Amino acid sequence: MMRTVLWLCLALQVLAAGGPQLQAADLWVEVATLTGERLTGRLRTWTAERIEVEAQTPHDIPVAETLSIRFPRHSRRIIAGRSVVLMNGDRFAADPVRCIEDRLTAAWSQAPLRPAIEFPLETVAGLLLEPPAVAADFRETLADVQRAAAGEDTVRLIAGDQLRGEFQQLEGGLLEFHTAVGPLKLDRTRVRWLALDPELGSFPKSAGNRWMVFLTDGTRLTATSCQPRADLTVQFQLPVGGRVIVPWHEIVRLQQVTERVVPLSERTPAAVEYQPYLSGVQDLVRDRSLRKSPLLVRGEEFAFGLGVRSRMAVQYDLKPGDGWFQTGVAIDDASEGAGSVRFRVELDGQVVWSSGEVTGQSPLVDTGRIDLHGARRLSLIADYGERGDVGDLADWCDPLLIRDQ
């Protein structure tokens, strides 16, 4: 009842305003800016161009100068349930109901009245049809889809059997799949997941400004534009699949990428050095954990980052205009509480920040803003903690370069 009254009050404010803006009363927001400020307070007005936050005093912030907008009182559900996974890593909490002639249609699991969403099949990495309900098992299922071998499509049945071949269509509760021994019609309720051949997939290359959007139902999507609307919804334009309109209270966090905000994972390292505690080989993983699951720290997901193991040093040559660097460090939730790592950041071989001991139960540790002016090489090092490299699924979360104007 209280939520109904609150939203009625908000609607009356918007109608009185009469413009394409979203006004709020007694709803909290955290805004991080390009200058390093973090403002927490009541959200007064939000448009495509500006956001006004009432902290101790009102702050009118151009949206172009924001790094992220977070709604701390909008709780996020466990990442689980039937889902569509795209080639770029986006994940929609939507039930794949039909796929005919290379067009996939999915119905929103938590919003049945929202229009169904369609995707070109070449942009889809996989479908989670009957995923496990336990969060840790669900993360591993997502990793399985990412790890599926190229060359053919892959089906994993609930019973554990795995089939290789070519996906044909999904219609009427049946998944049609061609294998070397002939065509099959599988009851979709027997299918855990479908992974499509990554060699045949494609996704539009990111260009220009974009938003990473995290919703309360576990959805993570990329939007090329973000438009708050007068009816207390926000419209997101997708690179594929058209547009999505969601109520404002379903948004957990927005993160903006612009010409001045560059995820470090989108640059090629100058060098990656791995020194195993005993023996073995380990590659750097971009934008996922070492297990190929989403970067997840104490339940919070990050779209950008580096999955590493101790001891690994990742080095980047800086470019003219790289002004500042910031990141968070932690051990991924996939470690299930294990692990101990010491992180440090070096510029031209000199330590400029260190974390101390970070365990699999520690919260995310923020480096703050690190001044890059005058430096030529940035090194991110994950070193052994007290327990060697046991459980060291280390994450550099949202490592961002802030470019000078």
Query: Domain 2-69, CATH 1.20.1070 — does that match?
Result: no
CATH superfamily of 261-403: NPCBM/NEW2 domain (2.60.120.1060)
pTM score: 0.91
Each domain of the chain, given as residue ranges in start order, spans 2-69, 83-200, 261-403
Mean pLDDT of the chain: 91
Ramachandran angles phi, psi of 10, nearest 5°: -60, -40
Question: Taking the CA atoms of the chain, what radius of gyration do you get in angstroms?
Answer: 22
Q: How far is CA 114 from CA 78, 84, 170, 245, in A?
A: 21, 16, 21, 8
Domain 2-69 matches domain 261-403 at the CATH topology level:
no
Cα gap 66→14, rounded to integer Å: 23
Tell me if the bond preceding 311 is cis, omega within 30° of 0: yes
CA dihedral 300, 213, 111, 132 (to 10 degrees): -40
Cα gap 343→330, rounded to integer Å: 9
Query: Domain 83-200, CATH 2.170.130 — does that match?
Result: no
Model pLDDT for residues 166-206, shown as the tens digit of each residue: 999 999 999 999 999 999 999 999 999 999 999 999 998 87
Burial class of residue 108 (count of CB atoms within 10 Å of its CB; 0-12, 13-18, 19+): buried
Going residue by residue through the chain, which has 405 residues, state the pLDDT in tens, using 9 for 90 and above. Answer: 434 334 334 443 443 444 455 555 558 899 999 999 999 999 999 999 999 999 888 999 999 999 999 998 887 766 779 999 999 999 999 999 999 999 999 999 999 899 999 999 999 999 999 999 888 899 999 999 999 999 999 999 999 999 999 999 999 999 999 999 999 999 999 999 999 999 999 998 877 799 999 999 999 999 999 999 988 899 999 998 799 999 988 999 999 999 999 999 999 999 999 998 887 788 999 999 999 999 999 999 999 999 999 999 999 999 999 999 999 999 999 999 999 999 999 999 999 999 999 999 999 999 999 999 999 999 999 999 988 888 899 999 999 999 998
Strands 83-86 and 124-128 turn out to be antiparallel
Model pLDDT for residues 139-157, shown as the tens digit of each residue: 999 999 999 999 999 999 9
